Structure 1
Amino acid sequence: MTAVVATPPRTFDRRLIVPLVLGAILNPINSSTLAVALVPIGLAFHALPSETAWLVSGLYLATATGQPVVGKLVDRYGARTLYLAGTALVGVAGIVGALAPSLGVLVLARVLLGFGTCAGYPAAMYLIRRSGVEKPGGLLTALSVSAQTIVVVGPTLGGLLIGAAGWRALFAINIPLAVLCLVLGALLLPRSGPVEEHVRLDYLGIGFFAGTLTALMLFLLSPSLGHVWLVPLTVLLAAGFVWRELHYADPFLDVRVFGGNAPLLTTYLRTLLAQTVAYAYLYGFTQWLEAGRGLSAAHAGLVLLPMSLVAIGVSAITGRRAEFRGKLLIGAVSQVVACALMLVLSSASALWIPVLISVICGLPQGLNSLANQNAVYFQADADRMGASAGLLRTFAYLGAMVSSAATGAFFKHGADTAGLHELAIFLIVVATLLLVVVLADPSLRRIGAANERL
C-alpha cells in the first residue's frame, strides 16, 4: 500500500518583505508629502494653484499610464528587472527635482517619479501571488498598511522636512530611498526564468491607452469651450484602444476578461470614487489650511496627524478581518460626513473643527484602499495579477487626477473658503455615489466568505 505524503504549505520568503514594501511606498511618499508643499512651491515660482496642480497631475498621469504597462511587463518578465529599473529612475527624478530651476522642470521631475514608482506595487502583488502562499492576508495587510501609513503621515513628514530644509528636500529624499531599494532588490529579489523572445508588447494598445488618459486629463484640468474638442478625442482614442485590444493576439489589457468580470470592474470604480475624495482632501483641504486658514506647512501637516493615527490603527485592527462590505460602507459614510463638515469652515474657524475632520478622514483612509486591494487579489485572474494590480492603481490615480482637476477649478483664484465649500459639495456627490455602488454590489459578501476560508 502506497503511503500518501502530505505536501507542506508553501511559504513566502520573508526577506522579500522589506524591499517590496519599500518599492510599494515610493509612490505614496511622493504623493502625500507634496500636499503641504504646493503653497510654498507656488510662492517660490509665482504660480497659482491651477498651475501647481500639474505637479499632482503630472505624477498621476504618468503613473496611471505606467502602472498597467509595468504590471504587464512584470507578468511577462518577472519582478526583478522592472523593480530595479523603476527605483533607479526614482533616484534620477530626485536629483532633477532637487535642482529644478523652474516649475516646468519640477513637473518633469514629478513625471519621472510617476514612471519610476510604477514597478513596486505590481512586483509585490506578483511575487505574493506566485509564491502560492495559502494565507496571504497578513502579507496583503502589511503591504496595504505600509502604503496607508505613508499616505497619512506624509503631510506631517513633509511639513517637518519643509520646515527644516525647504521644499526641495521632498525631492532629495528620493535619492537615498532609491539607493536602498536598488541594493536590497539586487541582493534579494529572485531572478526570472527564460522569456519567450518572439512575443511582442502591444505598443499600439499602450499608445491608445496613454493618449486616452492624456486627452482626458488635459480637458479636466481646463474644462472650457475652447478645449471641448478634447472630449471627442478622448472618446475616439478610447474606442481605438478597445478595438485594438479586441483584435490583438496578446493585448496589453484583455478587455474581454474585464468585460466578463463585473465584480472586478466594480472594484475599480469604487477605487476611483474613493480616491477622488481622499486625494482632494489631501491636496485641496491642505492648501486651504495654509492659504485660507493661515497655517504654516508644518502646522498644516500636524493638523493631518490625527488622520494618520486613526488610519494606521484602523488598518492594523481590521486588516486580517475577512469582511469587505462593512469596511467599505463605513469608509463611504465617513467621507460624506467629513466633506459635509467642510461646509461649516471659515478662515476664523476654531482649530478643533479641521482636526475633527482629520480624525473622521482617517477611517476611510484606513478602510477603503485595504478592502479594494484585497478584493482585486481574489477577483483577478492569477495569470494577470501584475496587470490587474497595476490597473487598480491606475483607477486610484484617475481619482487623484479628477481631484486635482477639481481642486484647480475650485481654487482658480486661490485656496480660499468659497472655493473649499464648492469643492466640498462636489466631493459629497462623489462620496454619495461611492456609497450607492457599495450598497448595490452583492459580490462583496461572496469574496468576504472566500477570504474567511483562507
Structure 2
Amino acid sequence: MNVRSKWLLFSVGLGVLLNPLNSSMIAVAIARLQNVYRLDFTVVSWVIFSFYIASAIAQPVMGKASDLFGRRKIFLTGLVVAFVASLLAPLSSSFGWLIVFRIVQSVGTSMMVAVGMAIVRIHITEKQATALSVMSIFLSGAAAIGPFIGGVLIHWWDWPAIFLVNIPFVAASFQLAWRTIPKDGPPTYALRNMSFRKWLDVIDASGILLFAVGLVALLVGLLSAKSSGHVSFWHVIVGLIGLIVLGAFVRHELKATSPFIPLRTFAKYPAMTWVNVEFMLVNVLFYSLFFGLPSYLQMVRHVSEFHTGILMLSLGLSSLVVSPIAGRWIDKSGPRPALLASGILMVLGSVWIATLNQSSPVISVCLALAAFGISNGLNNVGMQAALFKSSPKEIIGVASGLFNTSRYLGTILSSLLIGIVMGGHFSAGGLRVLGIILTAIALSLVLISRRRRESGQPDES
C-alpha cells in the first residue's frame, strides 16, 4: 500500500469513526440528560433509538446518492452536516431540539459510513483486506472506547462535550479527505438536463419514502413497546402499518426502472443477500452481550461500574487486536476460514454464557468476552470482504449502505431481545436463557454461512 493510499485510508477512517463513536458515547449521558430536561428514562432513551433508526434509513439512502452524485461529494457533505449538528446540539433549548440535532448528526455520519467503505473498495486496489482491517479498527475502536471517552468528557465538562469533541475529528478528516480522495468521475446520469420529475424517478424518491416510512413505523412500534414495558393496541397498529408499507416498498422496487434498493439484483446475487442476513445476526449476538452483560455484572454480580467498564473495554480491545491479524489472514486465504473460526467462537462463547451462575468466577466472564471479541474482529473484516466479493461494482454504494443498515437492525433487535428475556429485572436465570438463545442464533449462522457459500459469488476479487 503506497503513501497516498495510507493517507486516504486515514482520512476516511477519521470520518467513519464518528458514527460508532456517537452511537456509544451517548449511553453514559442518559442519566445527566434526565436531570437536565427533567424526563423519565423511557423518553430520554429515544436519544439512542433515534440515532439507530436514522442511521438504518440514511445509510442505504446515502449509498444510492453516492452512486448518482459521487462518493467524494457525499463524504465531504457528510462532514459538513456532522459539524453543524455537533455545534448546535449543545445549544438545544428543549429535548425535542436535541433529538432533531441528534438525527441530523446521524444522517451526516451515515453519509461517511455509507461511502467510506466504497471509497476504499474503489481507490485502494492492493491488500484490500488489510485496508478493511484498518477501517474495522476505526469502527470497532470508536465503539469500544466510546463509553469511556463519554464518561471522561461528562465528568470534566458535562454532556455538551460529547458533541463538541466531534469538531476536531471533522476538521482533520475534511482537510485530509479534500486532498486525498480522488475527484468523482462524471455522474451516471445527466442530472442537470433532467426535469424535476425525471430526477425524482432517477433517485427513486417514492422508494426512499416508502422505505423510510415503513422502517420508522415498524421500529417505532417495536421500540415503543419495549420502552413502555407492555404491548398496547397502538403499538400493534403502528407496527402493522410499518409492515404494510414495507410490503408496498418491495412491490414498488420490483417494478421501478431505477430502484433505490435493486431487489432483482439481490435475487441475481443471492450470496449478497445472505451476507446481509448473516451480518445482522452477528450483530444481534455481539450487542446482546455488549448491552446485556454490564447490567448483569452490576445488578446480579454486584461488580462496580469501574470494573465493569474495564471488563467491557477488554471486549473491544480484543476485537481491535484481532482485526489487523484477520486482515492479513483474509488477504492470504479469503474470508471463509476466518468466518468459520468466528462461528465456532460465537457458539462456544454463547454456550459459556448459558453456563454462568452467581458463583462462577469472574474469569469465566472474561473467557466469554474474549471469545466474542475475537469473533467480532474476524467478522468485521471477513463479512466486509464477503460483501465485496458478492456485490457487483455498479451498486457497491447501495450494498455498503445496506450492509451497515443490517448492523443497526441487529443492534436494535439485540436491545429488544434483552428486554423480552430479562424484562425489568436482570437475573442469573435470565442470562442463562439469553445464552441459550444466542447459542441457537450462533448455530444458525453456521448454517447460513454454508448456504451463502453454496449460492455462489460473482468473480470480482
TM-score, length basis structure 1: 0.85
2:286 to 278, 287, 301: 278
Structure 2 CA distance for aligned equivalents of residues 17 and 447 of structure 1: 32
Alpha-carbon distance between aligned partners in 2 of 1:258 and 1:12, rounded to the nearest angstrom: 34
The aligned residue for residue 228 of structure 2 is none
- Equivalent-residue separation in structure 2 for 1:121 and 1:45 (angstroms): 31
Tell me the residue number matched to 1:56: 48
Candidates 320, 332, 335, aligned match of 1:324: 335
| Structure 2 counterparts to residues 120-135 of structure 1, below 5 A | 120-131=112-123, 133=125, 135=127
1:370 paired to 2:381: yes
User: Residues of 1 paired with 2:420 and 2:172: CA distance?
Assistant: 39
1:307 CA displacement: 1.2
Contact 2:281 2:445 in 1 (8 A): no
1:389 aligns with 2:400: yes
Q: Which residue number corresponds to residue 239 of structure 1?
A: 247
Q: Which has the higher mean CA deviation after the structures are superposed, 402-411 or 184-193?
A: 402-411
2:210 to 203, 208, 211: 208
Structure 1 residues 163, 347: CA separation in 2 closer, same or farther (over 3 Å shift)?
A: farther
Contact 2:75 2:116 in 1 (8 A): no
1:417 has 2:403 as partner: no
| Number of residues of Structure 1 aligned to a counterpart in Structure 2 | 442
Equivalent pair of 2:353/2:435 in contact (CA under 8 Å): no
In structure 2, the partner of 1:5 is none
Q: How does 1:86-105 map to 2 (within 5 A)?
A: 86-100=78-92, 102-105=94-97
Letter in 2 for 1:98: P
Aligned to 2:258: 250
Task: Check conservation: 2:25, 2:147, Cα contact below 8 A.
Answer: yes
CA distance in 1, matches of 2:159, 2:152: 10
Offset at 1:93?
A: 2.3
- Check conservation: 2:285, 2:442, Cα contact below 8 A: no
Given that 2:346 and 2:442 are in contact with CA atoms closer than 8 Å, whether structure 1 keeps it comes out as: no
Tell me the residue number matched to 2:6: 14
In the TM superposition, what is the alpha-carbon distance from 1:66 to its structure 2 partner?
Answer: 0.6
Select which of 149, 154, 158 maps to 1:157: 149
Distance 1:437 1:33 in 2: 29
In 1, Cα distance between the equivalents of 2:273 and 2:432? Answer: 27
- 2:328 alignment partner, SS class: coil
1:103: how far off?
4.3
Alpha-carbon offset, residue 72 of structure 1 = 0.9
Q: Which residue of 2 aligns with 1:113?
A: 105
Q: Report the counterpart of residue 175 of structure 1 in structure 2.
A: 167
Structure 1 pair 98/219, CA: closer, same or farther in 2 (3 Å)? Answer: same
State how far apart, in whole Å, the 2-side matches of 1:423 and 1:104 are: 35
**In the aligned structure 2, how far is the partner of 1:62 from the partner of 1:365?**
24
Task: Give the 3-state SS of the residue equivalent to 1:442 in structure 2.
Answer: helix
- Any conservation in 1 of the 2:4–2:180 contact (CA below 8 Å)? no
Question: Match for residue 20 of structure 2?
Answer: 28
Secondary structure, aligned partner of 2:144 = helix
Secondary structure of the residue that 2:449 maps to in structure 1?
coil
Report the Cα distance in structure 2 between the residues aligned to 1:449 and 1:194, rounded to whole angstroms. 29
Task: Determine the C-alpha separation between the residues in 2 that align with 1:154 and 1:31.
Answer: 8
Residues 134 and 305 of structure 1, relative CA distance in 2, 3 Å threshold: closer
Which of 64, 70, 91 does residue 62 from structure 2 map onto?
Answer: 70
> Is 101-110 or 134-143 further displaced after alignment?
101-110
CA distance in 1, matches of 2:287, 2:366: 17
CA pair 62-262 structure 1, distance change in 2 beyond 3 A? same
Q: Is the Cα–Cα contact under 8 Å of residues 115 and 401 in structure 2 kept in the other structure? A: no
Gaps of 5+ in 1: 1-8
Aligned counterpart, 1:6:
none
Cα distance, 1:342–1:437 mapped onto 2, change above 3 Å? closer
Closer, same or farther: CA 440–67 of 1 in aligned 2, 3 Å? closer
CA distance in 2, matches of 1:134, 1:50: 48
Once the 2 structures are TM-superposed, how far is the Cα of residue 177 of structure 1 from its aligned partner? 1.7
Alpha carbons 2:275, 2:386 under 8 Å: kept = yes
**Which residue identity lines up with residue 222 of structure 2 in the other structure?**
L
Question: Higher mean Cα deviation, 157-166 or 51-60?
Answer: 157-166
In the TM superposition, what whole-angstrom CA distance separates every residue of 1:189-241 from its partner, at most 9, and x where no partner exists? 22223332135311110011111211111121134141212333122111211
For residues 38 and 291 of structure 1, what CA distance do their matches in structure 2 show?
18
User: Which position in structure 1 is the counterpart of 2:224?
Assistant: 222
- The match for 2:130 is 138
1:260-299 → structure 2 map (5 Å cutoff): 260-289=268-297, 298-299=306-307
Aligned Cα root-mean-square deviation (Å): 3.3
Structure (1 or 2) with the greater helix fraction: 2
- CA deviation string 1:280-327 (max 9, x = no partner): 333333345556666665544322121122111211212222343443
CA contact (8 A) 1:87 1:178 kept: yes
User: TM-score, normalised to structure 2's length?
Assistant: 0.84
Instruction: Provide structure 2 residue ranges, at least 5 long, that are not aligned to the other structure.
Output: 226-230
The residue type paired with residue 392 of structure 1 is: F
1:91-138 CA-partner distances (Å, limit 9, x unpaired): 222234334455444433332222111122332232233337254222
Identity of aligned residues (%): 28
